Structure 1
């Protein structure tokens, strides 16, 4: 029926339809309403029934993923290597990098020692950098994985790989998979929300795309202040009654069009309007921090005189988690320190350490941490060699390093104080408990009750999944 409709369209009709529908399509893209194809109750029931076939007992109900875009240096933060201090200024041993190519580092690149002091914390004795004083206070809540690795060397494909399981745009984001697989707890907010701070992201909007899943599962970017989504509030002079009447009329027209052509995306469009209507009431309360105590604001380091968007986003992430949002992605860009890794890490850690630790403390004291999984990490790590190029104006920085980097986890189903994985004495290669990006994704799904091998979607004649044909649970961090 759909094919017949498209064949019968003239070029003029096609562009006319697009012109009428662009605003609605854009709104649908922004709102990406509730998961599980909220357009029809039948679709909800069908997906809920299918979900039971691939679910484990869930330890977590939701995820807050703190994505440090740009790749923070694990050697300045989590993986202390005294051997680098001993060998600073000397060329990297040739056998270490034999057969490998780098974008900016020469084969005689000198070793760069960690720029900060480290100290053991908590009952686990995990070593943390001095630039993480707040995380050190919750050291016993986190599980540290120092052996994550990836095949992707450049920022855009590596960020896509962490978020979608593929370095190529067009695959569903992990939040979209969760929305599709287990749905949404919230009636008034999307299942998948994106919060950004620090500037542009190399991976772009593809990192919260629904890919080939129904567009209802797309991530919805929120702003940390004011209206969370532009143009959701009623225009000046439009009262709720008039807005409701307009929406009812639009729904009737869309339903007629759906009956005519049978395109399921029309149902997505209808649901997007309904979600926008509900969000007009829910969003202002969500963004209103006036009811938060002074102690809570201080905990996150929120100070109107010293704005910190990441701090606001972390508090907003907690508020979204309270309201049943399934997957909250908090992006902080700016970690790409090809030059002056010491100054760059100190600045970014100063912005992110307190809010990230506060999020753990705040969730715990509200009884939410036990079923909220918190994830922290970037797209790859940093080399033990210095990136020094006078021609490029780069000194005392570190290059991209996919062979080994660090992530930490806390909350729902995570073994407190676990330390997994080990790198060699130079922090170059993983020598114990290697963890692939697909293993991280499989573990996140497992903690939410999903078997990553069975959560699939058939597209272009074959089943796809987040972890492709790879991935194993990181059992050593599971509580």
Structure 2
């Protein structure tokens, strides 16, 4: 590169302006992966991807899981209609919640004005399923069918009582925006096992009620380098935005452009020494490789009919929860480190008996199918599956209560999740709430405990996965969290 061009870059183009203008449309693409450069010029800056190429240089100890799929049920599914059977609520339906049970715990603004808090028994029946005899609602017959492969945790709790801080806390370890998400922490710590796909991919159901908003910061990189952000795959002709080349533009043209861009950025790196230059280039290169890998991955025509039968007819409709579960399996087969599905619609403040059956119908079969599919392909043993929301629901009705109609408010003090595979003890029901389902009486699991356990199963000591920002060391679990040994096989 001649001295005049070097001087032009140094004097007339700010780093931010240069990176914004030099991307030629690829700058918005494919955030969230470790990289490897193609071509000799790219290799001057970008290190090649190898196994264990994250900041840790490899796990702290032997990992039980290599990858994670997190089925996030946004809105707070009711534990009383899914996994936490409380016959006492049926007997006391309509009676006041005893003060001795509530113990002065705070209420949301939606319930605090109520003159009474009438207990609401579930409208739906429960049965004991499998050899483990776990209680599961009639709304979840398919999950009931795999209950011996999963671990139901009935003693989750959090401090956050509203959706945004609670979901942010669940995904990032802090109620305030700006921290890295779980997938970003894993991508940063462990790196990638696939050089042609991001380490962290996000799927959002298009067939779910949009009762509570989802924000990209839930899968954001926070203060970590930008290449660790999650990449959202969408349904439709362009699964990743801006990935497709303009008409008449060939792969060779793109390769030539990227090589020229690398030369320009090499000069920028010499002048400013800003590591974000490498991160941007990493994203451009990943986008280039994804142009070949993504269309093949999202083309479901090679899946046999029995697979669609397993996941349900919705699996044939791109973007549905069922289709995303099937796509998640395909991503996991390609060794994508962290796949996160978001499904909204669980915020049932009113008319719960009429609404929640649709939610369960949309998610039950595909969730169970994913466990079954991974198991029969030999992937469940080293894949961790997580299902759950940000908090639970109250045992009393919010608003009008009748025999067949009620709603449930937010309840952070106890809720249910389940996990499977990846070192989790199958067929286990862990933790216990009181007979009212209001307070935990055995084996409480805090959100930070859940996060610490997830990292542990991937071979990470949560106290040692640290990133320093603004002069302070940070970690996913902040200054708390303990591994829940009781759910580990």
TM-score, normalized by length of structure 2?
0.90
Find the aligned partners of 2:364 and 2:17 in 1 and give their Cα distance: 46
> Could you tell me which of 475, 482, 485 is aligned with 1:465?
475
Asked whether the equivalents of residues 36 and 183 of structure 1 are also in contact (C-alpha less than 8 Å), the reply is no
Asked whether the equivalents of residues 225 and 287 of structure 1 are also in contact (C-alpha less than 8 Å), the reply is no
Tell me the residue number matched to 2:169: 161
The structure where helix makes up a greater share of residues is 1
> Could you tell me which of 89, 114, 119 is aligned with 1:111?
119
* Aligned: 1:171 with 2:182: no
Asked whether the equivalents of residues 34 and 199 of structure 2 are also in contact (C-alpha less than 8 Å), the reply is yes
Tell me the residue number matched to 1:264: 275
Deviation, 1:34, is 2.5
Cα deviation, 1:192-227, whole Å, max 9, x if unaligned, reads: 001001347545111111111111111111113432
Give the number of equivalent residue pairs: 465
* Aligned: 1:245 with 2:256: yes
Describe the SS at the equivalent of 1:65.
Answer: strand
Deviation, 1:146, is 0.1
CA spacing shift, 1:247–1:9, aligned 2, 3 Å: closer
Q: 1:122-137 alignment to 2 at 5 Å? A: 122-137=130-145
Find the aligned partners of 2:296 and 2:211 in 1 and give their Cα distance: 28
Tell me the residue number matched to 1:149: 157
Find the aligned partners of 2:55 and 2:436 in 1 and give their Cα distance: 50
Asked whether the equivalents of residues 29 and 215 of structure 1 are also in contact (C-alpha less than 8 Å), the reply is no
Deviation, 1:43, is 9.7
| RMSD over aligned Cα atoms | 2.5
Unaligned runs of 5+ in 2: 1-8, 38-44
* Aligned: 1:254 with 2:259: no
Tell me the residue number matched to 1:3: none
CA spacing shift, 1:265–1:451, aligned 2, 3 Å: same
Tell me the residue number matched to 2:46: 40
Cα deviation, 1:306-354, whole Å, max 9, x if unaligned, reads: 7771001000100000111100000001110001111221010000000
Find the aligned partners of 2:247 and 2:459 in 1 and give their Cα distance: 45
Deviation, 1:415, is 0.5
Unaligned runs of 5+ in 1: 1-7
CA spacing shift, 1:466–1:306, aligned 2, 3 Å: closer
Find the aligned partners of 1:218 and 1:266 in 2 and give their Cα distance: 16
> Could you tell me which of 447, 450, 475 is aligned with 2:485?
475
Describe the SS at the equivalent of 1:442.
Answer: helix
Describe the SS at the equivalent of 1:385.
Answer: coil
Find the aligned partners of 1:113 and 1:139 in 2 and give their Cα distance: 23
Asked whether the equivalents of residues 22 and 261 of structure 2 are also in contact (C-alpha less than 8 Å), the reply is no
Tell me the residue number matched to 1:193: 201
Asked whether the equivalents of residues 315 and 324 of structure 2 are also in contact (C-alpha less than 8 Å), the reply is no
* Aligned: 1:296 with 2:303: no
Asked whether the equivalents of residues 36 and 195 of structure 2 are also in contact (C-alpha less than 8 Å), the reply is no
* Aligned: 1:50 with 2:56: yes
> Could you tell me which of 413, 419, 432 is aligned with 1:403?
413
CA spacing shift, 1:304–1:126, aligned 2, 3 Å: closer
> Could you tell me which of 72, 75, 85 is aligned with 2:80?
75
* Aligned: 1:90 with 2:95: yes
